[in-house]
Structure 1
Amino acid sequence: MRTRTIEVKGMSCNHCVQSVTRALSGIEGLTNVKVDLTFGTATYDETKPVADDVVKAAIERIGFTAGNYR
């Protein structure tokens, strides 16, 4: 298992945080999703490899911009 953190741009409220959390939690292989509004990031654990493009697409599908991994 590895932990990843990705930038999420465009979040402005707790509803945004909940939306990103839901979107990432719905991806098979991702657990312990934590979205931080202040830092504009989403951190999650991978229980199996998940392609970066899959995560970025889930973020962008709900109207936010996926940035770089940290």
Structure 2
Amino acid sequence: MSTHTSTWTVTGMTCGHCVASVTEELSEVAGVESVDVTLETGAVVVTSTGPLERATVEQAVSEAGYTLQS
């Protein structure tokens, strides 16, 4: 089985709790295997079993209380 890596930018994160919230919500998305968040840049690298739809990622980030940069 192959994996797919995608990088997104999340705005509004200011602390470790923010990182944990985004990581938790994205980890619940079907097919997501790992989430790596860099607080300083807002970069979020998601490894999944296949490509993720932007709307799916955006919804998970929104559930965490943050915004997916366009």
TM-score (norm 1): 0.88
CA distance in 1, matches of 2:11, 2:52: 21
- Give 5+ residue unaligned stretches, structure 1: none
- Give 5+ residue unaligned stretches, structure 2: none
Question: Identity over aligned residues, as a percent?
Answer: 37
TM-score (norm 2): 0.88
1:29–1:49 Cα contact (<8 Å) kept: no
Q: Which runs of 4+ in 1 moved over 3 A?
A: none
More strand by share: 1
Number of residue pairs matched by the alignment:
68
Which of 36, 43, 46 is matched with 1:44 structurally? 46
**Alpha-carbon RMSD:** 1.1
Which of 6, 9, 30 is matched with 2:8 structurally? 6
Q: Which secondary structure does the structure 2 equivalent of 1:20 belong to?
A: helix
CA distance in 1, matches of 2:58, 2:35: 14
